[in-house]
């Protein structure tokens, strides 16, 4: 049977792993075992943080709406409750944008909900 040299496959695998951790510090960017561990953790954090990012954005919208609504003499929770009762179908992202960029339009929405 002829001899098979398998160095190219393992070298390719090693280069692929090390290219993924380029820019990491210390052993994580140079040693294959530490690099594999870093890739696993980085993937887990990325997955979790993609979801956290959405929550953080929504929290920012809520704060913007709350600040704008308090100037009109309401609280955030009462405003959202009134929106639901009046069946106004605007989400928090749009409301926050209106509060920041079009205060007159936002004020008219608040007046509609109040009255």
Say if CB 92 and CB 58 are below 8 A apart: yes
How confident is the model at residue 3, as a pLDDT? 87
Domains of the chain (ranges; CATH) run 10-114 (1.10.1900.20)
Distance separating alpha carbons of residues 79 and 81, to the nearest angstrom:
5
**100 backbone φψ class: left, alpha, beta (φ>0; ψ -120 to 50):** alpha
Say if CB 65 and CB 78 are below 8 A apart: no
Please name the residue that has the structure tokens 């979801």: 51
How confident is the model at residue 115, as a pLDDT? 75
How confident is the model at residue 1, as a pLDDT? 83
What tens digit of pLDDT does each residue of 54-89 get? 999 999 999 999 999 999 999 999 999 999 999 999
For residue 5, pLDDT beyond 90? no
Please name the residue that has the structure tokens 């070298």: 11
What tens digit of pLDDT does each residue of 86-104 get? 999 999 999 999 999 999 9
What tens digit of pLDDT does each residue of 9-53 get? 899 999 999 999 999 999 999 999 999 999 999 999 999 999 999
């Amino acid at each position: 049977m002829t001899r098979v040299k398998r160095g190219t496959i393992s070298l390719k695998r090693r280069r692929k792993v090390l290219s993924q951790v380029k820019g990491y510090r210390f052993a994580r960017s140079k040693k294959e075992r530490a690099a594999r561990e870093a890739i696993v953790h980085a993937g887990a954090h990325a997955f979790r943080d993609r979801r956290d990012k959405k929550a953080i954005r929504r929290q920012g919208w809520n704060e913007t709406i709350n600040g704008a609504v308090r100037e009109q003499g309401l609280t955030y929770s009462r405003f959202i409750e009134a929106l639901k009762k009046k069946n106004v179908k605007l989400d928090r992202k749009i409301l926050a944008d209106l509060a920041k960029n079009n205060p007159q339009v936002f004020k008219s929405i608040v007046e509609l909900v109040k009255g």
